[in-house]
Amino acid sequence: MAADAMERTAPWRNRTTLRCYTARATPPNDFRHWCRSPGAPSLRPHRRTQGDGAMGFLDKVRKLFSFSFNRLEDGTPLTPAQHRGLALGAVYAAESYLPINALTAESDRATAVALLASAWGVTSAGSAREVTESLLSQGHRAHYAVVNPRVERLHRGSRSDAAAVAQANLAALPGEAVARGLDLESTRDYYESWHEAAEEGLFDKLPRPLPASIMAWDMGRLVQLHRLIQDARLLRAEESWNAIASAARLAQPAYQSWRDFGDSFVVGRAFWLATHDLDRIAEDTDTFQRATAHLLSHEHSPWRQMAW
């Protein structure tokens, strides 16, 4: 599976052919997952594809609804705790027009099963639990905690000290990776790619200062994962909601506001993307910063409906 975005069509519950853009992520695997009808509102610029047709009309439709959220009218009422947990995945929901009041990606079972298997390596209830536990216990934030302070120190330092700092960083990585139970080769890859992102000025595109943790990225991915798990019917809804509740308990003391959470998500996504396609970071960051700005400003946003 290629790392860059692909386009595919699949059957969907609402009987409308939807475009589903996906991109491969690092272990535990992730899919950047957008699923929406040709006329559905989206913060992502539309990609013209063969057979779209009537683009002027569709563009007008998108503009009319560009500040709306997807809310299922027949969705099961959620508890306040469930609303809060689902809001951890709201950046993806806003960007991809996923329901903000239901734990679903609105995919049919076969599509969800295929995405879970190819993107996350999830093929059973057992593997779904394993990946969930990985996100809760480690995720990408474990590598970021090792890599980012060292890259920032190198990036902020003087050129005369750069060689010595770089050498010290590389010498310290093995011990710190082992101490945290991280794969050394992966840690080096993250360090090199994040350092390259800094050297190319891509940090200037990110919210500053960079957050101490990118837990928001891991927790947002967990919600996205469990949307698919529910569509695939791998776990009971109660188990998915319990996992999301655990994510909410972890995230709550880590941030002071939804703005902090959103910034952390954006930086976390850039940290992940740096190991795959450095050239996409600037555009991708703009896209997801628009999504977070939308969530922070729109009166019907789940982030505006509840205090952090």
Residues 247 and 157 in one domain: no
Q: Kindly state whether residue 286 falls inside one of the protein's structural domains.
A: yes
Task: Point out the domain boundary residue: 153, 184, 205.
Answer: 205
Residues of the chain with pLDDT under 50: 1-55, 57, 59-61, 63-64
C-alpha to C-alpha distances, 279 to 137, 255, 276, nearest whole angstrom:
30, 29, 9
pLDDT of residue 156: 83
Q: Smallest Cα–Cα separation from 257: which of 67, 87, 43?
A: 87
Q: Kindly state whether residue 1 falls inside one of the protein's structural domains.
A: no
Beta strand spans in 228-294 (E): none
User: How many angstroms separate the CA atoms of 102 and 109, rounded?
Assistant: 16
pLDDT of residue 67: 58
Residues 133 and 235 in one domain: yes
Rg (CA), the chain: 19
Residues 22 and 127 in one domain: yes
Residues 54 and 92 in one domain: yes
Residues 80 and 119 in one domain: yes
Q: Kindly state whether residue 210 falls inside one of the protein's structural domains.
A: no
Residues 15 and 161 in one domain: no
DSSP states along 161-196: HHHHHHHHHHHHHHHHHHHTT--HHHHHHHHHHHHH
The boundaries of the domain holding residue 198 are 141-205
pLDDT of residue 20: 31
Q: Is 97 left (phi over 0), alpha (psi -120 to 50) or beta?
A: left
* Structure tokens that stand for 97 in this block: 């027009």
Residues 70 and 134 in one domain: yes
Single-letter code of the amino acid located at 220? G
Residues 84 and 164 in one domain: no
The total of structural domains in the chain comes to 2
